[in-house]
Structure 1
Amino acid sequence: MGIVLNGGTIVTAADMYQADVRIEGERIVAIGYEIKQPGDQAIDVDGCFLFPGGIDPHTHFDLPMGTFSTADDFFTGSKAAVLGGTTTILDFATQFKGETLKAALGNWHAKAEGKCYVDYGFHMAITDWNEQIAREITDLVQVEGVPSFKLYMAYKNILQVDDGALLQALRHAGESGALVCVHCENGDVIYDLVHEAVAQGKTSPKYHPLTRPPEAEEEATARVIALAQIAKAPLYIVHLTCKGALQAVTKAKLKGIEVYAETCPQYLLLDDSYYNLEGFNSAKYVISPPLRPIDHQQELWSGLQTGILDIVATDHCAFNYQGQKELGVNDFSKIPNGAPGVETRMGLLYTYGVMTGKLSIHEFVALTSTNAAKLFGLFPRKGTIAPGSDADLVVWDPRISSVITVDSLHQNVDYTPFEGFKQTGQATQVFLRGKQVVQNGRLIEEKPMGNYLPRKPFLKRKVEENV
């Protein structure tokens, strides 16, 4: 017995057409008309779009931060994700000083197993580089299904690695069929600027963006692109925020360097004026890289339109305002960096991208699902609507209007950076591998049924010329 979705308009990164979709078991088995079989359940989705389930390749659930962890663990974070139309997340399994990569991966498997409402995979975040770690990379790619690794150029003395480690990691990853993801900010410069500001008594949240200027991101982006070129390895830039970094990526792509980049809704829709709010409220917007002046936004939208930016992710790294962000009330450098966003990503990009004409509906699907599936070893199982693909489907009703408020969301966080934003459309029904988990905008599957996704190795797109 199967399920047939009748009357919807299917939208993929390439096509849009009206047809019925038949699901059997976990997969899509047919697309067309009059495909209902005896015993099938028919669901009317007339007037709605059918999108492939969203893929958010940048979340931080249950991430330890000193004496506490992020407000959302895999249970609450994934619940919020699926209610917003995201059916797959890629979280960062973080290796801390002295750990092997395998041990760190085991820690994250324990955090997620049996607790995730969406399918999930892991990037491996490397913070401690040595020869043993280098040897582990191939095993993670080939045995564990983890073909992507993250390194930080920021957070000196905590997460930051030096250029030598970056170059070696790029080389090893490139040879092993992996893609290296990099947080691009000049950590040494930021470290000095922050300490200088605090020493001068400049301790309020408004100094956060002033001590992490766009130039620090632009420089780091250009530098890691040069290292990737030397290593002859592909590169993925996470959460790109500013004109200069975008120009560095544009220049690299025009030269044929294999570099990919993501941005996030917060950088498309919020600006640095949020650091001038009354009292300590600006702490809610202390993220890294920080929000930029508003003139950077149009450049980022243009980057999405031209394909320079490949993905819109969230960097969902949620800390409560009360009790967590407040730890930095007397020193902005002690405010935990991060904000929630996994539940609002699809709605915001549809409302402020598609509905304003900044993005086509095909670009919306590519940016929220298809491109991530292709870059991170999940396509065509995920990221499209086609026979044989997983039946991860979002029934999106464009006739519904709402206003985003913290009380309307399901994340385990006491604020949303998008409070008061209007939204057009809603994920009224969501299917995960053929099982309906959201109905009429409500979660109907009490037990988390998300599976771990071992992913395929990364395939280089560029063919090196023989010299």
Structure 2
Amino acid sequence: MKKLIKNGTIVTASDTYTAEILIEDGRISQIGTNLSAQGAEIIDANGCLVIPGGIDPHTHLDMPFGGTVTKDDFETGTKAAAFGGTTTVIDFCLTTKGEPLKNAIQTWHAKSKEKAVIDYGFHLMIAEINENVLIELPYVINEEGITSFKVFMAYKNVFQADDDTLFRTLVSAKEHGALVMVHAENGDVIDYLTKKAIADGNKDPIYHALTRPPELEGEATGRAATLTGLANSQLYVVHVSCADAVEKIAEARSKGFNVWGETCPQYLVLDQSYLERPNFEGAKYVWSPPLREKWNQEVLWNALKSGQLQTLGSDQCSFDFKGQKDLGKDDFTKIPNGGPIIEDRLSILFSEGVKKGRISLNQFVDLTSTRAAKLFGLYPKKGTIAVGADADIVIFDPQVERVISAETHHMAVDYNAFEGMKVTGEPVSVLSRGDFVVRDKQFVGKPGSGQYLKRAKYNVNAPVNQNETLPI
């Protein structure tokens, strides 16, 4: 059925204007004034912003870790994402050394099949580089449409890859048109520091942060950026948490290196002191990189405003406080790393960013949707409001106030990392390819309606709009 959105203020990464949007066959067919509404359902967006559906480039749904599995799967996780204004997620597909990459991808297809309520794609973890992996990469890119690879520089003896693997992945990515992503922390030194902390009897959650100091994130970020420059390749640094890493990214970009950076809401509004909360409550805030001293927050906000960081991911990786996080009750190294973030990503950035004058409305759209669409081969099908684009649209009320709470969120997890935080602005209705997933704050979607997205190859020069190109 045709739909006509009227009376809203359209906001894209480059423009803010008033117009009507006609939706036909899941796509935007016209944008203008006094459009013909014959046979169309009228959607009144009066007083609201009309923005592209959010793209979350960093999620971990139904992921095994630390002897357990994340609480939110592709059904509950994407449902919560939709309530938060996200219409596309890109999830991390984990691989196992010695096994074909195809097996891992099939496993993730099985996890997501008939569950996702919004569209989704995969990143692929690269744990090793050998002839078998190199032979498979063209299939992964061209047939599966997976054009981004993640290399862990941390989690020694679990996920961590060595510098040879990282460098050869960068070289291969340059050859085949893929984007390399890194979890940038020095895993070898962290391993030493954590073992020493346990030996010294320091087992509380705060030591998770104290054994992963910001210097080790900065060092690994700089090392990855240097290797990227040497390979003349492209790099995306996930979940940047501190000034040390921002400095290394800015330095690399000033040299013309093709380096991009992502941060997450938790690093913008929470700080290291949360890990010191009594009665093991600090475990709720154990993820990697850890929360930092509060002064880092303003550095991150300034980096978003200046363009040194380009995207906002959630790093959604939820574990229940009771029954999962408490696996590390007597040893912080056994606390499953991760938090429930996916639902509140847009609201926090809007409330703390736009409402407080830290970023513009257009930057808000760029950070939550457009830039990720461009970097990960989804633009212009996703990430913008334009004729021909998928009708992934969020009707967003910029004035409504609410208090974030586990009692009202839609994630499957038993706590909310932002419990009690007051925010201004939230999605009212969310459409995925022209169909309502959330309507008037009520879920009307269907598990399995989300489609798997095969993504285009990395292209740094893909335009933001007809008259603009992305800066390097």
Structure 2 length-normalised TM: 0.96
Q: CA deviation at 1:2?
A: 1.0
CA contact (8 A) 1:264 1:314 kept: yes
CA contact (8 A) 1:71 1:319 kept: yes
- What does 1:191-270 correspond to in 2, within 5 Å? 191-270=191-270
Please state if 1:18 is matched with 2:23.
no
User: Counterparts of 2:73 and 2:264 in 1: how far apart (Å)?
Assistant: 20
Amino acid at match of 2:177: G
Give the SS at the match of 2:407: helix
Q: CA deviation at 1:45?
A: 1.0
Please state if 1:415 is matched with 2:415.
yes
2:328 — aligned with what?
Answer: 328
1:372 — aligned with what?
Answer: 372
Please state if 1:276 is matched with 2:276.
yes
1:45 — aligned with what?
Answer: 45
Q: CA deviation at 1:39?
A: 1.1
User: C-alpha offsets along residues 296-329 of structure 1, whole Å, 9 cap, x if unaligned?
Assistant: 1100000000000010101001111101000000
Please state if 1:32 is matched with 2:19.
no
Give the SS at the match of 1:87: strand
Q: CA deviation at 1:446?
A: 3.6
User: Counterparts of 1:430 and 1:279 in 2: how far apart (Å)?
Assistant: 39
CA contact (8 A) 2:391 2:432 kept: yes
CA contact (8 A) 1:95 1:128 kept: no
2:3 — aligned with what?
Answer: 3
Q: CA deviation at 1:66?
A: 4.6
1:150 — aligned with what?
Answer: 150
Q: CA deviation at 1:98?
A: 2.4
User: Counterparts of 1:430 and 1:93 in 2: how far apart (Å)?
Assistant: 26
1:135 — aligned with what?
Answer: 135
**Unmatched 5+ stretches in structure 2:** 463-472
CA contact (8 A) 1:134 1:169 kept: no
- What does 1:33-432 correspond to in 2, within 5 Å? 33-432=33-432
Q: CA deviation at 1:279?
A: 1.4
CA contact (8 A) 1:58 1:316 kept: yes
Over aligned residue pairs, what C-alpha RMSD do you find?
1.1
Give the SS at the match of 1:133: helix
Amino acid at match of 2:444: I
Q: CA deviation at 1:397?
A: 1.1
User: Counterparts of 2:129 and 2:100 in 1: how far apart (Å)?
Assistant: 10
Amino acid at match of 1:288: S
CA contact (8 A) 1:318 1:338 kept: yes
Q: CA deviation at 1:65?
A: 1.9
Amino acid at match of 2:414: D
Amino acid at match of 1:46: N
Q: CA deviation at 1:460?
A: 4.1
Give the SS at the match of 1:406: coil
User: C-alpha offsets along residues 61-85 of structure 1, whole Å, 9 cap, x if unaligned?
Assistant: 0001254210000000000000110
Of 135-144 and 413-422, more deviation after overlay is shown by 135-144
CA contact (8 A) 1:153 1:161 kept: yes
CA contact (8 A) 2:375 2:460 kept: no
Give the SS at the match of 1:222: helix
User: Counterparts of 1:249 and 1:138 in 2: how far apart (Å)?
Assistant: 29
CA contact (8 A) 2:66 2:334 kept: no
Aligned pair count reads 462
Q: CA deviation at 1:447?
A: 3.7
User: Counterparts of 1:45 and 1:141 in 2: how far apart (Å)?
Assistant: 39
Amino acid at match of 1:366: D
1:454 — aligned with what?
Answer: 454
Q: CA deviation at 1:126?
A: 1.6
Of 168-177 and 441-450, more deviation after overlay is shown by 441-450
User: Counterparts of 1:271 and 1:52 in 2: how far apart (Å)?
Assistant: 30
Q: Structure 1 segments of 4 or more deviating over 4 A?
A: none
User: C-alpha offsets along residues 405-445 of structure 1, whole Å, 9 cap, x if unaligned?
Assistant: 00110001011110001111221111100111211111012
Q: CA deviation at 1:278?
A: 1.1
CA contact (8 A) 1:426 1:441 kept: no
CA contact (8 A) 1:10 1:51 kept: yes
User: Counterparts of 2:27 and 2:3 in 1: how far apart (Å)?
Assistant: 11
Amino acid at match of 2:295: D
CA contact (8 A) 2:177 2:457 kept: yes
Give the SS at the match of 1:408: coil
Q: CA deviation at 1:376?
A: 0.2
Amino acid at match of 2:246: L
Give the SS at the match of 2:117: coil
Give the SS at the match of 1:407: coil
User: Counterparts of 1:392 and 1:459 in 2: how far apart (Å)?
Assistant: 22
Identity of aligned residues (%): 49
User: Counterparts of 1:414 and 1:117 in 2: how far apart (Å)?
Assistant: 21
Of 362-371 and 100-109, more deviation after overlay is shown by 100-109
CA contact (8 A) 2:127 2:165 kept: no
Give the SS at the match of 1:154: coil
User: Counterparts of 1:142 and 1:448 in 2: how far apart (Å)?
Assistant: 24
CA contact (8 A) 1:10 1:50 kept: yes
1:465 — aligned with what?
Answer: none
Cα separation, partners in 2 of 1:66 and 1:250, compared to 1, 3 Å: closer
Structure 1 length-normalised TM: 0.98
User: C-alpha offsets along residues 186-223 of structure 1, whole Å, 9 cap, x if unaligned?
Assistant: 00000000000000110011111110000100100000
Give the SS at the match of 1:201: coil
User: Counterparts of 2:163 and 2:314 in 1: how far apart (Å)?
Assistant: 26
CA contact (8 A) 2:66 2:335 kept: no
CA contact (8 A) 2:395 2:430 kept: yes
User: Counterparts of 1:101 and 1:201 in 2: how far apart (Å)?
Assistant: 40
CA contact (8 A) 1:184 1:221 kept: yes
